[in-house]
Amino acid sequence: MYSATIIGASGYSGQETLDRILRHPELELAALGSDTYAGQPASSLDPRLARSSKPVPAFVTNADALTSAADVTFLCQGHETAAAFEPPANGIVVDLSGAHRSNDPAIYEQWYGFSHPRADELAAWTYAVPELTPPDGRLIANPGCYAIATILALAPLARAIETSGVVVDAKSGVSGAGRVPKDASHAGAVLDNFKPYRVGSHQHEPEIASALGFDICFVPHLLPIRRGIIATCYVVPRDGADLRALLQAAYADAPAVDVLPEGVLPELSRVQQTDATELGVFEDQATDRVIVIAAIDNLGKGAAGSAIQNANIALGIEPTTGLRLSGVLA
């Protein structure tokens, strides 16, 4: 049994990580860090935690949680806060924020709006997409939600498509904005509305480009729903390449990625509350383009699910242990 600590456990990604640890047969909680809930029982966040079959410790401050010397620490804080994080001397760290996704300090100034306080340590972190670039080392940068959906859809196709002019039209539920209230994610701004945001300036764009090896045109939109991402990618194949076959080959041994049969559309309802990915491939009958569509849960595969996968790999555990890989028929 391995021990796990969550820093920032009361946020959305922290709660989702906690849920997966509670169902994980090889992880047990060492500490729950939350400066907001410190000193309170876990049930103060969610009464259902009082019924957990696993022991759930009371909240302590994030600083105190870091003294737990856990085998794996999940860092679930905001980008700028996580950037100042000093890793423990031992143990694996999985950072769910964007604070360590690039080794280039200029990325944080241009795309995140802050100067990285530990820029000289960025090279020690590994950016890890479990199915494609598994973690190598004990400091792991978890991919962003839009990023992992797009990377899973396009990375296996990089040599088979024209890399100039790739367009990704992506849409996310409001939980992608985090738990802290914001004017743009207030119910009055979201319900009965649908809008693009951060057009041409979203922080996941350089992350995606770095992983793919080419630039894309990326436009995010906010859906009036709680969770889920649809990323619709428009590409031109080279020399009649069979993009569906390439994806099927890439993910043949990846239980968390499902390349759907021809004609079957990815849907949020099937991936919400899970750590799975659905990929669909469609030819545009009017042009030479092929449309690759990815559907994930932004809090599942887009955050906690991938974090648990990365931790499993780093610990030598079967990668999908503790994950939710299927929903229920409705």
* pTM, rounded to two decimals: 0.95
> Domains of the chain: which residue ranges?
2-142+301-315, 146-298
**What class has domain 146-298?**
alpha beta
117 phi/psi in degrees, rounded to 5: -75, -15
Residue-level pLDDT at 184: 65
Residue-level pLDDT at 178: 66
Residue-level pLDDT at 182: 63
Residue-level pLDDT at 324: 92
Residue-level pLDDT at 44: 96
Q: Judge contact between 207 and 98, C-beta under 8 A.
A: yes
Taking only the tens place, the pLDDT of each residue in 40-79 is: 999 999 999 999 999 999 999 999 999 999 999 999 999 9
Residue-level pLDDT at 192: 78
174 phi/psi in degrees, rounded to 5: -70, -20
Q: Judge contact between 295 and 229, C-beta under 8 A.
A: yes
Spell out, as residue ranges, where the chain has pLDDT lower than 70.
Answer: 177-185, 327-330
As given in the structure block, the two tokens for residue 226 are: 């709680």
Residue 199, classified by CB atoms within 10 Å of its CB into exposed (0-12), middle (13-18) or buried (19+), is exposed
Residues 6+ apart with CB under 8 A from 149: 170, 229, 231, 277, 294, 295, 296, 301, 302
Residue-level pLDDT at 330: 44
Residue-level pLDDT at 65: 97
- The one catalytic residue among 76, 145, 217, 233: 145
Whether 145 is a known active-site residue: answer yes
CATH number of 2-142+301-315: 3.40.50.720
